[in-house]
Amino acid sequence: MASPEKKSFSVVSLVIDLVLSAIAFVIFYWLVNSHVPSNDPRMVMFFGASAAGCMTGVFWLALQMLKVVFKFQVDSRK
């Protein structure tokens, strides 16, 4: 019977992912904020944060997929 595989979860990895996602959110918010078609600062902040949140979610998913593919390639070379 095959030996159980080691889980690849660690607190350090989670913290790194959260920091990278927070940096991506700030960059996306900074980029999107000027493109919101409103003069109300609250609406600009709301829609800028909404768009940046969606793009940060896509960034996080892409980062997770990149980590899984990289781990698979490293393991397949062994």
User: What letter represents residue 28's amino acid?
Assistant: F
Q: In whole numbers, what is the pLDDT of the chain averaged over residues? A: 92
Res 2: pLDDT: 59
Phi-psi region of 35 (alpha: psi -120 to 50; beta: other; left: phi over 0): alpha
State yes or no: pLDDT of 4 exceeds 80.
no
Could you give the 3-state DSSP secondary structure of residue 38? coil
Find tokens 């998913």 and name the residue. Answer: 61
Report the greatest alpha carbon distance in the chain.
65
pLDDT tens per residue, range 31-64:
999 999 999 999 999 999 999 999 999 999 999 9
